[in-house]
């Protein structure tokens, strides 16, 4: 039996290579673009390559104070990456593990489609239906904030 997962596709006017780079660099953009949600963020281990860890600290708008994510996989040619939650968030409270795979594909409209698959292992007896909706909303917010930044700053992540 495979672990539970949810899928999401987000259309963007931003080109795939630029949006991919912005998501990889989210720890440097998040607090600037979503200051009501993200208090601060930084790389805490590594140089941005596979195995690197970043921490995102949230404002009181979120039900938890921070998350730490590890970059498990990156393919710069195919514009895809995978992060795993290693600390914070609902880890140990509602879920045993979680990872998110992002893939940015060029669209016929000139932008891209961000395909997201989040796989998680819930703790026994925990219903995560509300968290799935909140997770999807958070991913959409991240992609749309990065898209708006890229469209307003044509030279960013070019």
Q: Distance of alpha carbon 16 from its chain centroid, rounded?
A: 15
Would you give per-residue pLDDT tens digits along the chain (158 residues)? Answer: 567 899 999 999 999 999 999 999 999 999 999 999 999 999 999 999 999 999 999 999 998 999 999 999 999 999 999 999 999 999 999 999 999 999 999 999 889 999 999 999 999 998 888 888 888 999 999 999 999 999 999 999 99
Phi, psi of 135 (to 5 degrees): -65, -45
What would the two tokens of residue 30 be?
């998040």
DSSP letters of 111-134? SEEEEEEEEEEEPTT---HHHHHH
Asked if residues 13 and 147 have their Cβ atoms less than 8 Å apart, the reply is yes
pTM, two decimals, is: 0.92
């Amino acid at each position: 039996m495979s672990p539970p997962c949810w899928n999401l596709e987000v259309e963007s006017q931003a080109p795939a290579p630029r949006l991919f780079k912005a998501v990889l660099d989210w720890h440097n953009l998040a607090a600037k673009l979503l200051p009501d949600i993200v208090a601060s963020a930084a790389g805490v281990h590594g140089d941005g390559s596979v195995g690197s860890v970043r921490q995102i600290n949230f404002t009181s708008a979120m039900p938890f104070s921070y998350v730490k994510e590890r970059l498990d996989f990156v393919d710069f040619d195919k514009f895809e990456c995978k992060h795993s939650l290693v600390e914070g968030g609902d880890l140990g409270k509602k879920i045993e593990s979680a990872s998110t795979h992002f893939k940015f594909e060029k669209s016929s409209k000139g932008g891209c489609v961000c395909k997201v698959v989040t796989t998680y292992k819930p703790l026994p007896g925990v219903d995560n239906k509300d968290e799935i909706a909140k997770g999807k909303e958070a991913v959409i917010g991240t992609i749309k904030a990065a898209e708006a930044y890229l469209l307003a700053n044509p030279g960013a992540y070019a």
